[in-house]
Structure 1
Amino acid sequence: MDTVTLHNSDITCSRIALGTWAIGGWMWGGNDEQDSIRTIQEAVDRGITLIDTAPVYGFGESEERVGLALQQGRLRQRVAIATKCGLNWDHQGPYRDAGRERIVQEVNDSLRRLRSDVIDLYQLHWPDPTRPVEEAAEAMADLKRAGKIRAVGVSNFDADQIRAFHAVCPLSTVQPPYNLFERDMEKDLLPVLGELGLDTLTYGALCRGLLSGKMREHTRFDGDDLRNNDPKFQPPRYRQYLEAVTRLDALARRRYGKRVLALALRWLLDQPGVSVALWGARRPEQIEAVTDIQGWHLDDDARAEIDLILADTLTDPVGPEFMAPPDRHHR
């Protein structure tokens, strides 16, 4: 599998990373612990060497399962762990809290849950509008100097916030949403990322499963699954996205003998500015398609056809804004 060495660090990892939000169960209708452990171990066996998690994914559950899976499989030395900070939670749910005290508490809690003495990549999950960006940057710079973390990243930051953070604490990575259906990063972030030389860990590669090719009009989601509130999964938009997937799948079959999932990941990895693509999974069989992404690239004609399909089918596109958590004062 292709690898990349992250900017301002000595961390070399696979260009596909395992995203573990769904493994935590929360907002994905629950999940089975043994399935989670097998998924993590299967990902490493297939050459994935970066695992991305966060405390808020299942309120500690995802980190616990990552730590347990790596310990049971004796895999810790084979992977880099990326986790996050800056979200707190109570009975009302998660909210942004990126104060120094919270960040220091979180890093210690994460180290314990992950069963590790260091976090390879520590990321501020969301900017906290109630506090200066510099406060979190200073706290994370101190954690790096103390040896608790190896590299620093931010997630869901805009260009100005990235600049302000980077001026205080040099960044290695930025984690924005990016996939065939959600492309705001191209106009908002790419220029500043290129200027600063930062790497990206893009999330949402399959757009909450839409680009897996497995969704149908009658597909339903259990319990607290976030797709029950995702505007993309509501009519009439849902039908438009499904039509786009059908046509993208036909393109992938005709040109490359692949399916839409492989096309979506290959498109993402071939995009300028994409260093690592996070691929979410919660069952071992969902990792198997990783072999379909290696050893080929999209040509210019295919890229042009993809853009035509999207322009023709998505007359009312919408981004991932619904996922943004509130700050402490607006819940």
Structure 2
Amino acid sequence: MTKPIIAVTMGDPAGIGPEITVGSLDKKEIYDVCTPVVVGNADVLEKMLPVKKANLNVNRIKNVSEAKGAYGTIDIIHLGELPGFELGQVSAPCGQAAFDYIKYAVELCQANEVQAMATAPINKESLKAAEVPYIGHTEMLAGFAGVDDPLTMFEVLNMRIFFLTRHLSLKDAIGQMTKERVHDYLIRCDAALQKLGVESRKFAVAGLNPHSGENGLFGYEEVDEIKPGIELAQATGIDAVGPVPADSVFHQALNGKYDAVLSLYHDQGHIAAKMTDFHRTISITNGLPFLRTSVDHGTAFDIAGEGIASSVSMEEAIKLAAKYAPHFVNE
């Protein structure tokens, strides 16, 4: 089988993105499963080689077809020159550069020159300084693809977690937990896993209140909205159960009882995933016409350039992109 080609964006040049990119591509197992092509700045990447003690060559290319795809060489599409900047500092040029890398990688996906993209972290303040009209990766990708509401899924070990709500206050998130939204998300989550080639798709919906509300003893959200939403999804053929108390549902999923969990709010699912394995928690943006995986940590400006940032998350993001790419057809 031909190995998939994965576009790897370097992230904010002032953060740990460049060094974890180098660290990832210093692993032979990455090249065993895919051909990684970095989109970024070759000069910055070369400066990270001694930082990571990596004995690698940097191959500057203009087209994906020029990639060697061989361990020991980092193939990189070099996008323009980058004015002087300081590691660990918010910078408009770095924010703009990070944006440009993502945009170019999306174009490669849309042209079917690569089969997926894996992204290193970007910095929201740097994006703002560059007057980029998006707050983060998900918003950019949705804008480029013309998609209104992409789905975020975490995968860690054999556990998958979707999110009904994300960047909202808890009070506002509860207001979004309607039966219509639960129904819609379960249908979309099922379609997302199907597109990734997952044949078994049994979902559990996490409860909101202690013990999922105990039939109204500790709140009525489960009775009035969450359970009716699950029942609507069941009526359309979705294999879903719940609400299952949040203090047990993630453990059960990790042990194979469910193929995915629908988390009701941001921290509910984030805590479960990151306590399982912080570095191996990988984000997949579903609902896009192309496949994108990402680390789920930030730019770590405080340690940028010190060579101590772990590349495990970046390695896992690339490997997960390679895992699902053969099943995912870019539209």
In the superposition, the TM-score normalised over structure 2's length comes to: 0.34
> Rg: which structure is higher?
2
Bigger relative contact order (CA 8 A; separation at least 6) = 2
In the superposition, the TM-score normalised over structure 1's length comes to: 0.34
